[in-house]
Structure 1
Amino acid sequence: MVERVYLDWNASAPLRPEAREAMIAAMDVVGNPSSVHAEGRAAKAIVERARRQVAAALGADGSDVVFVSGATEAAALAMAGRGLRTAPVEHEAVAAWGDGSLAVAPSGAVAVDDPAASAVQVANSETGVVQRLPEGVAVSDWTQGFGKLPLAFDWSGNQMALVSSHKIGGPKGVGALVLRRGLEVEAHIRGGGQEMGRRSGTENVAAIAGFGAAAEAAARDLAEGAWDGVAQLRTFLETGLEGADSPTILVGKESPRLPNTLCLVTPGWRGETQVMALDLAGFAVSAGSACSSGKVRASAVLGAMGYGPGEADCAIRVSLGPGVTERQAERFVDTFRRLRSRRRT
């Protein structure tokens, strides 16, 4: 039986044991967090503990953390009706609310001339390219940078930030909008006025508990240098995949990037075909971001960076995590080179 190797951490990280334990414990708490009796207060305490954990991990102790269903909902809550400027390299959840007018350099860097009227990501999910954010950006997508990069919201100058639990090893279906204390957004889900009036509906106590535990563990991993080893493994992969006779382009290699992300373009070998061939060989990778990988079209991100359709539709993303071993990385290099060579003969 072929050993499965998971190399799609940017799509969703494996569930952390700390998150699983917190969720199981929270499921035994019967109360509604909006109820004032003892059982309700116990549920509310779980939610507020998780809020503190997420805030501490984000360096947002002086800001508000609003729990939502994920970064997609957070983007809608932060951006709807504001007419913010965006770049075509933004995730679709952000791009849906922006105008796509910000210029993108071949390096992947976004030019921001009016931060207060712009939404700009911290890091790109497909290429891993990290942006140098100017002071005062209205909205920033921190989804991929959270847990991998040293970030501090209270010091960033951002007005609002989006994060998602499952990117850091928490459960799927929960995330947060972080905003400067005193800054208001109009609720789109109305009703009971939960989450400081910004998002009504009974909180998903178990998922929120898992998110908080995952955030605390992710901050600890970052402080202990877990992603430094991942960056070394990514360099090992790049060295093994490139060479004088290699047709594969390593997108963004000269730019600041996430420590775990490789975007590989092999002209003439469609990304979807690569994903299927590698899947059969035991490797989980993706073509584009997880939210668009099932759609057969060239990457808008690579198109914005100047790659033509013949290159942009031949890209795959390999994203690592602390659980990937050097032996697994070696096997991936051998397998990818073998499959690539077979395509050329």
Structure 2
Amino acid sequence: MKFIDAIKERAKQNKQTIVLPESLERRTLDAACTLLSEELVDVVLVGEREAILKAGEGLDLGKAKIVDPATFEGMDQYVAELVKLREKKGMTPESARKILSTDPLFFGVMMVKQGDADGMVAGAVNSTANVLRPSLQILKTAPGTKLVSSFFVMVVPDCTYGSNGTFIFSDAGLVQNPSAEELASIAGSSAKSFKALVGDEPIVGMLSHSTKGSATHPDVDKVVEATKLAQEQYPEFKIDGEFQLDAAIVPSVGQSKAPGSPVAGNVNVLIFPDLDAGNIGYKLVQRLAKAEAYGPITQGIAKPVNDLSRGCTAEDIVGVAVITAVQAQNMK
């Protein structure tokens, strides 16, 4: 079964409520229609009912729950909670009410915080910064997590590497130039994400332009240190490095370049040394190998909130929504 089909089946088995706050965007409404008609998740749309229905003219949104902040009965409770969370940063009841009334992203995240939704998906018309800001201010990081990072699930057709052609690439969307400590945290979070979403054993490779000391450079030193930290902090996972990409995923090359490594040649979770490498890498595989790319999916937030590419399709939104639902299932 294809990765996304398996995720959809898991989403159906224990339906979660996903808030889609960009509710005047046609792609969002197309996705909502699909999610509802296939009974994948329950959908909450944020905004004024008539405006949303006009934007979704011709779509069956009858099963969607539409919540208008202007008439929402729980607004006083949301305001009080936001003030409590942000009082030290100068948040007043007046400013909290204004932001929750006018910014659907803040309102959507507060729905997740208060348990009125299980996760949120946005970014079709908003920047990553705008999507993640309320998430970090309201939900904060998950217990035991030092860093919020992101990953792509890459499904490569006709590929024998990885987990039958399925990989996690991280971080390919968020952390610009991680330190050794941050790379180790990304490795641990990504291993957990792979296990939760793909279901197979994560085998983590820390990528570099060097394999086991074949080159010397401060950039290599960072990955060597990150590998050591990750192995110490996450002994439950198979983690090794530093590896060039071929040594990480091709068994014969792994055996040649890193003999004795239990990880070399078998990696399914690729940890890139910086955002440039990760972003270039996932786009190369997506375009040249015609891989399906699902993401960027965030990891490390206390409850699941995921950011979309502004170039996303309705189908992309559906994919991220069901992944968010499965993340919510796992967090519970």
Higher strand share: 2
Query: Fold match, TM over 0.5?
Result: no
Higher helix share: 2
Q: TM-score, normalised by structure 1?
A: 0.24
